[in-house]
Structure 1
């Protein structure tokens, strides 16, 4: 072969590795090309096309990614922790058909998110998608709002889960020793201990984390099945002069409205339990850089989690709705944990302790999964300079190959948030409602941009919804737009609303306060320096003119600040 033919072949090979030919939507210009001398595997090539160099070992498979996600979802401990809202606001009617209604909206959001994940499988996830898809000039702001909202839900995940687990553990102690009455500081110290344990576990290597979460997720699933069988089989309602199960007419037809709002609003208020329980299905998006075959496996894990979570969550709702004896008694019990109080109403004590034990262990692994997902989000945002001292939080430990600094940053923030325990049950409840509203805002923002600003110009990945993409996205958007104001409603109104801690809904303060500060920060300072996702593959990429994108190629602009400005405009919908 002549030198001329060799040169042509080399040039052709170089062109075959352009960003435009990868099945992803990238922040890079479409004519950016991979360095043909650099060795990529399939996932590494996809990630480089998104603008990032591989930094993690890809030791998560579809199953282990699903396991982390299902562990974060934690149906059994999530349900137990939020029973106060699901059953307390709207009774059995809200628990049964209310769950079905809520799951339609949740599933639409999950499928739209999975489609984005296939198109942009990076740890930045929703934040990256919002940046790339936004109209010219608005990418950095869309990324800023999406990223911070998603970070708020992530950092409230482990504290709220561990708080619920601690409350159940102390309630079990109170059942065994009736003279013991749990105090706020007992719950606080036990929750802090769980946070520290999870911090240590989350600092371990990726392979160890994958195995641990596979076990935890498997235990969660087995525990859920056992509880679904054990409660109806072991109920002793008949010995208390009641029918074995509550009649279906009462279960499905009774709205036990304990709020001052009409029944319809009360049912919508009870959705906070559904939204918080189901908010963990985004975990595969944040683990995409540690997952093999990420742009197929990660979106599949998202849909598997939301689908199975929705089905089995509804079964759990039915079991409780058909066996509960006294809803007000469970909500206001001295045990301080409605799920434990409910179990005491319908089961012998030994079975109560067995169910609580399974729930507590499942809650422990759920908290671990939340800590892992949160650390990956913190790492991804710090990598792009979102936080003060970002260079410390984005550091990957050379020994474990995990973002250890990000883990402990989240642990400290979570412990500080747990001080809300001393404000009473309503104030600490803000962690749950904030988790729900922050998740929905972060989940739906890039979907909204994709539906209304990108439309049919969207470049889907290998997993996509086809012609149903926009209709499904519209349903998800409508559901979230309905729920965001509802999640800020207090449970009382009129003369009963005194705007003091026992009555007010703290969501508007705990979520709205930080988001207001973050928005002001944007307009005062961040808009001048924050440009969205930063390209860090300059040593692996070739520019349009054959020059390296390293601050010297192309138009001479430094890649340190490359984000969603000029590059995103050029890359829009290849």
Structure 2
């Protein structure tokens, strides 16, 4: 009716009550929801619930993830890591995923966790919370593709060694092959959104199919005698560390945490997904639950069929998964399974590259990268994708893979992926518990009365695991630089740098997410309760590619209830 107040987008808005995006009536529901969060629509919404899940599941990549992290799971605690260790850990991981899904429904932006931390921590602590969340999340994103592509390269070279026993791959060959795979992924990641969505949809179908085939093939074609190990073996601990059995099992959670960390990709694609306030959280939950179940099935099969764990971990092939397949399967069958794993690994690396570029773009849009932000926040006018962000991440990933020449130091990029991801995942959950509590305004998908308990469990689990994941496998006189766990340095040093940067300089100009959309003020903002730590941006001139800042005309404070 005439005179009725304008409709309010059905999401948690950072705009004060009475303030609304301009031209709201002309927007779709997704555009209005994003506008209420302070951003104009930049990408085409060509991801559906299925294709969003496809990217998320591809980033998780169960088969290649389990294959590339065998050393950090069964190689630490034996079969127990694959059976009851997996079951115990994924209970907590699903809690983290559910809490994240609730945030994604309330605030569906590509900034994701970083944005949520800023909004909920308020003007005083929001910038620092966003800063920690954003950098930690970018660290996991930028290490995702290089770690997966390194594993893919290692499996390809292991297959070559199986075919030609006289061939032993060296470090340079591993590095160059990893470099080549990363360049291919960067090229694909620079394509238009629809092409990327279709590529990842096909990749996910291949991933699911190969996973199902492998689950059937391994027990059916195993040539060991007996074919299956007794329950005492499959559910028992074989401690390959210098720590007590309980600590060894907790250390083996590294493989599980790294494997089960891809579900946040859906959050970062929410600005390219239709009906994102519903589709995004569902995609997160579907990915976490389906990954937990199918991952457990594959791990149980490994636990019941592996015969000599020490031989698998210490194999000259340099890739435990390949050594395991050769140990239990006829060579042609083992090579076929290895080939399927390689294909899945390639698809997974591509999904990681796409997700990382969206995170990089979102943070650059809010000037998190300082002087590098301007080129990184540009959307290519031809592909409508953040091409500069894609290639920036690829370059960082290639440099990280120089750790190959440090021997066991390459394992640090897997540990970084585990630690950095769950620091980023749980920081906004912790902020929600401390600063917001029951005042949190949920989106259409929410946990209801289970929201607080689920958040407490999630934060407690991560706080327990953070120091454990930094433990080396040996201690005392056995500990040498070659056997040191360098995670605390490779992750801790950059994080220490960005924290110091914030307090020395960045706090002067970084105030958290910045709105970039014109909006109409309906009331005096001085009377509105809420946050004022999220600032709008001035509109610069548009040069070359599309600049996401264009359109911000007014300087004002914004708020979130």
TM-score range, shorter chain: over 0.9
SS at match of 1:389: helix
> TM-score, normalising length from structure 1?
0.92
Residue 461 (structure 2) pairs with residue 483 (structure 1)? no
Deviations 1:327-379 (A, max 9, x none): 01000100000010011111100000000000000000000000000000000
- Residue of structure 1 equivalent to 2:547: none
Q: By how many angstroms is 1:566 displaced?
A: 8.4
Residue 510 (structure 2) pairs with residue 530 (structure 1)? yes
Distance 2:64 2:536 in 1: 48
Q: Aligned match of 1:48 in 35, 40, 59?
A: 35
Q: Aligned match of 1:279 in 258, 261, 264?
A: 261
Residues 385 and 180 of structure 1, relative CA distance in 2, 3 Å threshold:
same
Q: Aligned match of 1:261 in 232, 243, 256?
A: 243
- Residue of structure 2 equivalent to 1:133: 120
Residue 528 (structure 2) pairs with residue 542 (structure 1)? no
SS at match of 2:274: coil
- Residue of structure 2 equivalent to 1:108: 95
Residue 68 (structure 2) pairs with residue 81 (structure 1)? yes
Q: Aligned match of 1:450 in 422, 432, 453?
A: 432
Q: Aligned match of 1:436 in 415, 418, 435?
A: 418
- Residue of structure 1 equivalent to 2:545: none
SS at match of 1:237: coil
Paired residue total: 538
Q: Is the 8 A contact 2:536 2:556 kept in 1?
A: no
- Residue of structure 2 equivalent to 1:16: 6
Q: By how many angstroms is 1:43 displaced?
A: 0.4
Distance 1:493 1:517 in 2: 28
Please show how residues 84-483 of structure 1 align to structure 2 within 5 Å.
Answer: 84-238=71-225, 243-252=226-235, 254-387=236-369, 388-424=371-407, 426-483=408-465
Please show how residues 36-75 of structure 1 align to structure 2 within 5 Å.
Answer: 36=23, 39-75=26-62
Q: Is the 8 A contact 1:90 1:266 kept in 2?
A: yes
Q: By how many angstroms is 1:558 displaced?
A: 6.5
Q: Is the 8 A contact 2:536 2:557 kept in 1?
A: no
Distance 2:13 2:474 in 1: 47
Deviations 1:96-143 (A, max 9, x none): 000001001100000000000000000000000000000441000000
Structure 1 residue runs of 5 or longer lacking an equivalent are 1-7, 548-553
SS at match of 1:55: coil
- Residue of structure 2 equivalent to 1:3: none
Q: By how many angstroms is 1:31 displaced?
A: 2.3
Distance 1:328 1:23 in 2: 56
Dislocated runs of 4+, deviation >6 Å: none
Q: By how many angstroms is 1:248 displaced?
A: 1.0
Q: Is the 8 A contact 1:27 1:533 kept in 2?
A: no
Deviations 1:175-205 (A, max 9, x none): 0011100101100000000000000000111
Residues 301 and 326 of structure 1, relative CA distance in 2, 3 Å threshold:
same
Distance 1:102 1:219 in 2: 27
- Residue of structure 2 equivalent to 1:510: 490
**Cα RMSD for the two superposed structures:** 1.7
Structure 2 residue runs of 5 or longer lacking an equivalent are 526-531, 540-551
Q: By how many angstroms is 1:514 displaced?
A: 0.2
SS at match of 1:80: helix
SS at match of 1:255: coil
Q: Is the 8 A contact 2:514 2:536 kept in 1?
A: no
Q: Is the 8 A contact 2:51 2:201 kept in 1?
A: yes
Q: By how many angstroms is 1:465 displaced?
A: 0.3
Q: Is the 8 A contact 1:23 1:460 kept in 2?
A: no
